[in-house]
Amino acid sequence: MIAKFDPKELEKKPGFIFGMPVEQFSFPLNQHDSCTAAFKREPWWQMYQASDTTVFTPHIIPDDIARGFVFEAETPKYMDQKGGPDMFGIEWEWVEQAGGSMVRPGVPFMEEIDEWREKVVWPDVDSWDWEGCAKANNGTYLKPENFNQLWFHTGYFERLIALMEFENALMAIFDEDSKEEVHAFFDKLTDLYIDIFQHVADYFPDVNAVFFHDDWGSQKETFFSPALVEEMIVPYMKRITDFLHSKNIFCEFHSCGNNYKQVPNMIKAGWDMWAPQLMNDCYKIYDDFGDQIIICTFPMNIPEDIMALGSDAARGEAFAKLPEEEQRRIAREYIHRTNKIGKPSAYNFYATHFVTPAVREEMYVESRKIFSGEIEA
């Protein structure tokens, strides 16, 4: 039974987003219990990706340093270590203007997929300092009252891109002559990923979810047909989600691009949640698939002149200048549009720039009242 909303819940107390101090409400549930309820489709309020989870990207997984994205107890030691070799020894270069890393283009590690059997050196996962990392993080950064989410940066197509560059990776998946080798590589890659996640489960018992990255689309369209993804990627992802679920670990998928057509494959692959980027029609995705996978939605009722601005920062600044009651109206309409009993959504971190104090309060209160049964959605 979900308790009714108490106005005292709006009293502020210290909290954190990505390790940065922020004010939070006096929630009736801690982070762990509230997010667990959300993933089970029984939320007390709409889960907010940006603040309701604790991101965990430990330095012992080489891809986290290569991507310049280390969040853990020892983060200060790695603030200046951005780029370098990933777990396969592929060099990534930090691009300051983009705020991220990429493999230097022009000289792919391999051009044909059948080269993997001779060229790829598989990482020795046992040699990573799991014990030292566990000692530093368990009970400190990874607290049992938090909802701790391991971000895993490089999935299947992204791993092929890192090894082969985009065009070669795309051809390898499309070409009938190379599909057998792609299957063999993905099968062994799945064994590796499951080995890593087994170590995570063994050494970090308070990890509650995995946030798995594999980009599948561009601004306008998915890279592949749904049939191709179902054939070439879904079976291997399903092995991973089945394993994680067997360890009571929730599975969230990160996939950039316009990927409406691929949502059925996300469901078949066993993902519990997906956050579409803002070029997607998240209302349509929620309507069509929100009863099968939790969709991280965002307000699609923002005034058109604000959405026409050229950057998230500019949109956020303009939105914040709207009258407070207008902001609250937009938030209320959005919450009622995308949250039903048994069919909740989460708030998408891609749209954090629209979360003013008024919007955050309105979304929280309105969703609390919906899920406690005080008002109808």
Going along the chain from its start, the domains and CATH numbers come out as 24-298 (3.20.20.210)
pLDDT at 19: 60
CA distance 66 to 153: 10
Q: Report the alpha-carbon angle 78-213-22, nearest 5.
A: 55
Burial 43-78 (b: 16+ CB within 10 A, else e): bbbbbbbbbbbbbbbbbbbbbbbbbbbbbbbbeeeb
pLDDT at 270: 98
Tokens representing 92 are: 């990534």
pLDDT at 14: 83
Collect the ranges in the chain with pLDDT lower than 70.
16-20
Packing angle, helices 166-174 and 157-164, rounded to 10: 130
Q: Could you tell me what percent of the chain has a pLDDT over 70? A: 99
Enter the DSSP assignment of 147: -
Structure confidence by residue, pLDDT tens digits, 266-301 = 999 999 999 999 999 999 999 999 999 999 999 999
